[in-house]
Each structure stands twice: as C-alpha cells, then as structure tokens.
Amino acid sequence: MYNTRTENLDALLSIICEELQLPTSEYDRAEEHYVAVGHWLDAEGSLLRSWKPVIYPQGSFRIGTTVKPLKEDEFDLDLVCELQLGEANIAPLSVLDMVERRLRDHGTYHNMIERKRRCVRLTYAHEFHLDILPARPDGQASGTRVRIPDGDLSMWLPSDPRGYARWFEGQAERIKLARVEPVPDQESVAEKSSLQRAVQLLKRWRDLAYQDNTDVAPRSIVLTTLAGECVVEATSTSAALREIIDGITIRVGQSPYRPIVVRNPVHPAEILSEQWERNPGAYDTFVERLAELAGKWQALETGTDVFTVERILSQLFGDGVTKQAFVREAAQVETHRTDGSLGVTRSTRGLSLGLGSGIVPVRRNTFYGDT
C-alpha cells in the first residue's frame, strides 16, 4: 500500500488525526449555538446593542486544529465579542459584567453561565462550552487589531485573533481565505494541510504529556505559533512534525538562560508566552518534555518493526487512537489485497496501490492454503 516507511507512517498519522477530529455533528451544533449567542447579544433590548457587538471564533476552532478532549470532557469553542466602545473609558471588568448580565437575561443561558477570569463561559453539558471574551477595537491601530482584558481585568491589552488566523492560514498554504466572522466548514483530515495536522498531533501530545500537570502545560496558541514559524517546506505530516520539533529545539537552544518569547506574528506587542515569564518552572518542564518528544520521534522515524511503531505512537498520541489507526490500516490493506490492487514494489519492497511496471501483485489471502 505504501512505497516507503515514511508513507506508511504518514498514513497512520492521518488516521490518528481522523480519530482526533471532532464529529461533524458536534461541530455543527457548536456553530449553531455560537450563532444563537451572537444574535442574543445583539438583539432588540440588549444593553450591548448600542455598541454593535460582533461575535467571531478564535483559536483552534477558527483555524481547524481542534481535537477531541483527552477524557470525556466538553471541548472548547473560544469566541470574541467585539464591542464598538469608541473612546469610552470603560474598564474590562465592567464590560465583562455587562456581557454576563445580558446572557443571564436569557432563560436557557441563565443556568449555563460560569464566570471565568477573563471571559464568560456557557456550558452545554456533555458536549462543549463557549468561552466569550470581550474585546474592543484598538483605537491606536488599524485593521483587525483589538484590545482584550488582562488577567486582572484592570486594563486592555493588544491582540489580533483575526489577523492571527489569517497568518496561520497563510503558513498552512491554504488557498481560500474565508471571511473571518463565520466558523468555516470543518475540513476533512484529507483536506487539512500538513501544518494543521501536525498542530493537532502536537496538541494531543501536549494533552498526554501534561495530563498529570495541566497547570504548567503550554497554551495551544504557543504551540500553534511555534509550529507555524518552524514549518518551512514540509508536504507531509511526518515531515512537518520533524521540522517543528527541530525548529523549536534550535530556538530553545539559542536561549539557554531564559525562556524563549513567543509573540503574535501579526501583532508583536502581544506576548503569547507570558506564562513562561511568570513561571520559569513551567518553561523548564516544557524543555524537558520537548527533549523527550524529540527522542521518541527519532526512534519512531527509525523504527523497523510494527511493534516499535505502535508502541511509540501510543506513547505520543494515546492507546485508543493508535490501535484504531492500525485496525483501519489493516482493513485497507486487506481490501486492496482482495480486489487485486495491492502490489510490492521490486526496488523498495514496499506495498503499493495499483499495478504497474516494477510492481509484483500480492495474491489474495484465502486463509486455507494453496489450491
């Protein structure tokens, strides 16, 4: 089925990504609820309506890198509620209070609300939760730049979620730049770029590596930014992960005495890695985990037997999705063996789909001996 070990690895990684992909039904429900929340915040009678609230997704849901939670938890959908506050001198705390108050006016939302540090969360039990972050246009900048609350809700900090999404799409070499306000239709794994798939896998690795120490886990946007900056020309998922691991390792090595600084590429004033500045121990843990990842990836790329590959993939991405990937791959091989489209390339001894010159057909397995 595959001409090289790398192609075989990429096939397994692709299936793992499919297993990590959110079900389309959940994705569609999340989009419906997100749109409904936007309508409610801007509806007649809303105390926010004069500020013309615009709701749009940000983060992994916006750029197509969301993965299923590690456990049976709700997945996140991060939303921005951008309000046209003009020159009004309004503290972030007051704005967040008003967003919460408007949501509590809704009969259904009233019992779903949880106040978080910088946002209001709506929890749809056993499905997902919407985190709504208030924002205002950055009056000192143009384009899509905004200001969002700091952790203490005392001041507005620079940000640019929409500009960031466009940057990532460019890095991923996506042809179509959709309008940013709607959630884009969820792509199948086959439609995703190698960068998107690599980010999904990197986040899954993070979830597993930090499952017992989530407080120091690196933020998704930090991993996504580092990945987008490190990928150069990878056309496959495995090559993208190799470039990302190598690139981050080099960058860490260039800053031996202090944490690296990760900034929003389209708005450098926004520091994404402030966690590492506040907690150097979290950065030290990341450096250790990165070294472990690099070692396992090296062993995976050089592994010569299926048991080694399965063991390492399970360590990196989890037993369940890895076992399912091997089951599905075996089923695909048997399907092509049965219909006669599976062959062995003479030069590499790898499996190949389709029969041509240099390819020896693999006989259908009848499981009852030669006849």
Q: Provide the 8-state DSSP code for 348.
A: T
Contact 217, 204 (CB under 8 A): no
Q: What is the pLDDT of residue 349?
A: 42
- Give helix then strand counts, H and E, for the chain: 12, 12
Q: What is the pLDDT of residue 190?
A: 62
Q: What is the pLDDT of residue 173?
A: 64
Residue with tokens 């692709």: 14
As to burial, measured by CB atoms within 10 angstroms (0-12 exposed, 13-18 middle, 19+ buried), residue 108 is exposed
Q: 246-256 pLDDT, tens per residue?
A: 999 999 999 99
Q: Any bridge partners for residue 147, and if so which? A: 136, 158
Contact 23, 336 (CB under 8 A): no
For 83, 205, 238, 318, 337, the CA distances from 211, given in Å and listed in that order, are: 36, 10, 24, 12, 40
Largest CA distance in the chain: 87
Rounded to two decimals, the pTM is: 0.84
Q: For residue 91, how many other CB atoms are within 10 A of its CB?
A: 13
Residues 6+ apart with CB under 8 A from 39: none
Strands (DSSP E) contained in the chain are: 54-58, 75-82, 113-115, 120-124, 128-137, 146-149, 156-159, 263-264, 267-271, 342-345, 351-353, 359-361
Instruction: Collect the ranges in the chain with pLDDT lower than 70.
Output: 1-4, 72, 173-190, 336-371
d(Cα 188, Cα 196) in Å, to the nearest integer?
11
d(Cα 53, Cα 137) in Å, to the nearest integer?
11
d(Cα 282, Cα 87) in Å, to the nearest integer?
38
Q: What is the pLDDT of residue 94?
A: 94
